[in-house]
Structures are given as structure tokens and as C-alpha cells.
Chain A
Amino acid sequence: MITDFDPNRHNDAEVAPELAPLDLAPKPDGPAAAAMIASGLGVFTLGLLTTLAVINGSVKSFLEWFQFDQGVGALAGKSTVAVIAFFVAWLVLYLIWREKDVVLKKAFYISLGLGILGVIGTFPPFFEWFE
């Protein structure tokens, strides 16, 4: 899935000759894969925390700590931790893969799977099932 960056991997100007005059430099796919997977992980974290807050009172209390007396409740922690997970995962994967080629189809399907699970986790009929 992960290989060293090959500048000749894509020949975009051959597929779309109108790109040739733009003289576009080759780019590794690693940073794009990092963004894809990180976004899926962020949405997954959101859904996981939404469901865990229903299952476990300690998790809910921890998530409520993030509201800083603003009256937001556990949503403060769910959203803050999910956003942190998204940006931290993106940064870490970017640093690891910035000079690598990653199979984007795999990265996308991993992201899609995580995203679907995350949305299920935020769906009230699902998380209320654990109440």
C-alpha cells in the first residue's frame, strides 16, 4: 500500500493533453491519503464518543469537562476530541507519508468505512439502543 515516491507514476498530460502547457510537477499521494484517512478517523471518533457517552457515565463526565461552564454539555468534549483526532492524525500521517506514494483507493475505502461507522454512532436510534 505504501511505496517510495515515484515521479513517473502518473502521466497526467498523456491522459489530458490540455494539462501539458501547465507543466505540473509530480506530487506524492501520501499527503492526500493522510487527509482522507484522518477525516474518516475524525468522523469515527465523533460517532464512537457519542455512543460511549451513552454507555458509560465516566466517559460522559470526561466529555463534559471540555465545556468550561459554557452549558454545552458532553457535546463540547465529543466535538473537541473528534477535531483533535482529525488534525493530529492528519499531521502524523502527513509527516510519515509526505514523500511516499500510498494507494489512494485503499485510503479512501478505509476513510469511507470509518466515516460510515462514525455516522452510525451519531444516529440516535443506534446510540439510544444502549441506554
Chain B
Amino acid sequence: MEFSSRETWTVIHGLVLGTLFLLAFAGGLAGLWSLRPGLMTTEGIKERMGRLYVGAWVMAAAAWAAVITGTWIVYPWYRIKLAPVGENAYAGCADAILPNASCSPRDFLKSNVSGDTEMWHIFGMEWKEHVSWAAPILATAAAFLIAYYGPRLIARPWLRAAVIVMFVAAFAAALVGGAFGAFLNKIAPIV
């Protein structure tokens, strides 16, 4: 089995960076959650904070890498208009079972040649491509807050909760992108 260049980039964008983001989020959330008074020794705090800093910044970096590769490398392959004929923008998709050299994934979905697929683009892709950009913005701000306050977050429960909200909001934005990305790549894979 061999991956094409496009499939390789799709894997890097969704699977590699997505998994890294997910791992960093899970570790970061567990670390943030346990930053409570009386739970750790001073030595334990030092050890825990080091991992939390790394996790938070890795999550932010993975989010930036995922949206940049997704927008600037993978997305143009998804949306390219390949073979419009006259006023029929989807002529290249006639009788297609999957996207192909004359039918891009977007045209394939919008043409409805393989069932009622238009909504996957209109709702799924349109939301995914936009809201995903909130993930790196929120993850970077959350990582900064974690690095800036460090162990002080233990003594400030309200601030810690605010950081958790930003951290989870970054994850939620990435979840929309990741989930719709996985579904879209099943229905209309980039080939």
C-alpha cells in the first residue's frame, strides 16, 4: 500500500497533528484540573508544571500546524473546480462514485451525484474550515496564561477555571474541525 502525496498530507494534517493535539489536550487538562491547593507537595508542583508547560505549548503548536496545513495545502485540493462545462459546474462529476481527476471533493458533494451529499459541504465543511481557526488562537492564549502564572494558578481557582474554559473551547473548535474532517474524508476523500 502506498500513500499519494495528497493522502500523505491529509494524514499529516488530520491524523498526525490531530493526534498530537488530542494527546496534549488530554494531558494538559488533567494537569490543569489537579492544580488545587493541598493536592501536591512543592516538589510535585515543580515536576507537574514542567509537563504542563510542554503540553500546553505543544497543543498550541499542533493546532497552528493543523490549521495552516489544512488551509494552505489540503483545502485547495478539496475545493478546486476541475471540469466545468458551460453552465454546469459539476459536469466532471457525472456518474462519479467518488471524487476523481475530473471531480473535486467539493464538486462531488455539491453535485449530489452519489446521494444527498450537498449538506456535508454547506454545513460540515463550511463550519469546519472557519471555526477550526479559533483553536490555535485560544490554545495559544491558554498556553500563555499557564506559562505566565505557573504554580500561582493553584491559589487562584477562578483564574484556573477561566484557563480551563479557554483550553476546552480550543479543543471544542478543533473537535468540530476534526470530526467533520474525518466524515468528509470518508464521503469525499481527497485523491
User: Given contacts A70-B76, A124-B126, are A22 and B141 in contact (CB under 8 A)?
Assistant: no
A window 12-57: CB within 8 A of B:
12-16, 18-19, 21-22, 24, 27, 31-32, 35-36, 38-39, 42-43, 46-47, 50
Residue pair B155, A19 in contact (C-beta under 8 Å): yes
Residue pair A123, B127 in contact (C-beta under 8 Å): yes
Neighbouring A residues of B129 by C-beta, 8 Å: 75
Q: How far is the CA of A105 from the CA of B188 in the complex (A)?
A: 44
Tally of chain A residues near chain B (CB < 8 A): 48
Neighbouring B residues of A35 by C-beta, 8 Å: 141, 144-145, 148
A window 72-106: CB within 8 A of B:
72-73, 75-76, 78-79, 82-83, 86, 90, 104-105
Neighbouring B residues of A39 by C-beta, 8 Å: 137-138, 140-141, 166
B window 10-56: CB within 8 A of A:
37-38, 40-42, 45-46
Q: How large is the interface on B (under 10, 10 to 19, 20 to 34, 35 or more residues)?
A: 35 or more
Indicate which residue in B76, B131, B145 contacts A36 across the interface (CB closer than 8 Å). Answer: B145
Neighbouring B residues of A108 by C-beta, 8 Å: 162, 165
Neighbouring B residues of A27 by C-beta, 8 Å: 148-149, 152
Neighbouring B residues of A122 by C-beta, 8 Å: 127, 130-131, 134
Neighbouring B residues of A83 by C-beta, 8 Å: 133, 137
Chain A CB within 8 A of B169 CB: yes
Other A-B contacts than A24-B151, A78-B130, 12 sampled, CB-CB below 8 A, are A12-B152, A13-B155, A15-B156, A19-B151, A22-B45, A32-B159, A36-B145, A42-B137, A43-B137, A71-B80, A75-B75, A119-B173
